[in-house]
Amino acid sequence: MAQGLSAPHFHSEEEAFAYVEARVWPNGPVCPHCGGVERISKMQGSSTRMGLYKCYQCRKPFTVRMGTIFESSKVRLNIWLQAMYLIAGSKKGISSNQLARTLGLTVKTAWFLSHRIREAMREGGLAPFGQDGGAVEVDETYIGRKKGKPIKGAYHHKMAVLGLVDRNSGRARLFHVEQASGRNIQPIVLENLSREARLMTDESMIYRRIGREFAEHSAVHHYEKEYVRGDVTTNTVEGAFSIFKRGMRGVYQHCAERHLHRYLAEFEFRYSHRHATGCNDEDRAGKMLRGIVGKRLTYQQAGARA
């Protein structure tokens, strides 16, 4: 049953530890120092730090926060889980200001939490789209403004994003590209699409050459106002772009180019795990938790200046 934010792991730090441990260590605690799984004891006692274990193989202490996005943060674990739930559950995203107000954090801390959480939402190294011989829609779009670039033409001064949607699974992948050119998009398309895929694009020249690599390449002719021909269309990927743009406009007004990939990861995650794909808020938060390991991000890396 969905409990929403009333679930105990959002309110008690002890419950939060139990919740995270069960997901990060499904087969029992693992020492992050030596990788040991045996002779590990939970440290007890009132003066002991919450969730502390000791590994008697390397004799070092550790908690489940080590080696994850939660490492070296003073924010209580149940507050982290609340932040993750809020970010995963809001369709268009949530600003650091809003998050700070809701959770009683400073804006700086809320900003840091959201960037780390976005990092947990980044799903690298997944199977290519279209392995079942299904349709994969690929399209490019332009958003925001590049720093120091004069406004010229329709998108010379904007940041380019390449989008891929696997129509059968309903999943999306979004990539920041320096420029939407054939040369830039080819490696991304080759890496993320199975050769069995039916590639669907518009008539743009940038897809011509790469199209020959796949089982089929069909293009709709947007210049001739053709948007759907049989099952050939790019309407799904364009729909994903429009959700992303609405969010960027409303919530993340001034996105620096160096942070764009994190915002893309956040939207990609939410889109790929939306209700239409059979995912609810709980599932989404659980999936996110599995992405927290090995995604440590220091303040410096997150691009903070203060």
- Region label for 88, one of left (φ > 0), alpha (ψ between -120 and 50) or beta (otherwise): alpha
CB of 60 to Zn ion, least distance (A): 5
Q: Extract the tokens encoding 272.
A: 């790929």
CA 88 from chain centre, in angstroms, equals 9
Adjacency order of strands within the sheet including 198-202: 171-177, 159-166, 135-143, 198-202, 216-220
Is 182 in contact with 190 (CB distance < 8 Å)? no
Tell whether residue 288 is a contact of Zn ion (CB under 5 A): no
CB of 61 to Zn ion, least distance (A): 9
Tell whether residue 57 is a contact of Zn ion (CB under 5 A): yes
Among 22, 50, 58, 304, binds Zn ion (CB under 5 A): 58
Identify residues 64-123 at the interface with Zn ion (CB under 5 A): none
Tell whether residue 145 is a contact of Zn ion (CB under 5 A): no
Tell whether residue 151 is a contact of Zn ion (CB under 5 A): no
Report the residue number, 59 or 147, with the smaller CB distance to Zn ion.
59
Report the residue number, 30 or 260, with the smaller CB distance to Zn ion.
30
Is 264 in contact with 124 (CB distance < 8 Å)? no
**CA 69/CA 116 separation, integer angstroms:** 6
Tell whether residue 39 is a contact of Zn ion (CB under 5 A): no
- Sole window of 31-39, 84-92, 94-102, 181-189 interacting with Zn ion (rule: CB under 5 A): 31-39
Among 11, 21, 25, 36, binds Zn ion (CB under 5 A): 36
DSSP state of 300: T
CB of 168 to Zn ion, least distance (A): 44
Tell whether residue 41 is a contact of Zn ion (CB under 5 A): no
Phi, psi at 17, each rounded to 5°: -60, -45
CB of 239 to Zn ion, least distance (A): 48
- Sole window of 54-62, 165-173, 180-188, 211-219 interacting with Zn ion (rule: CB under 5 A): 54-62
Tell whether residue 31 is a contact of Zn ion (CB under 5 A): yes
Q: Give the interface size with Zn ion as a residue count (CB under 5 A).
A: 7
Report the residue number, 67 or 163, with the smaller CB distance to Zn ion.
67
**CA 83/CA 256 separation, integer angstroms:** 22
Amino acid at residue number 77: L
Is 173 in contact with 137 (CB distance < 8 Å)? no
**CA 109/CA 107 separation, integer angstroms:** 5
Angle between helices 96-103 and 107-120 (to 10 degrees): 110
Tell whether residue 157 is a contact of Zn ion (CB under 5 A): no
**CA 116/CA 97 separation, integer angstroms:** 16
- Sole window of 51-59, 156-164, 209-217, 221-229 interacting with Zn ion (rule: CB under 5 A): 51-59
Residue numbers at the binding site for Zn ion (CB under 5 A): 31, 33-34, 36, 55, 57-58
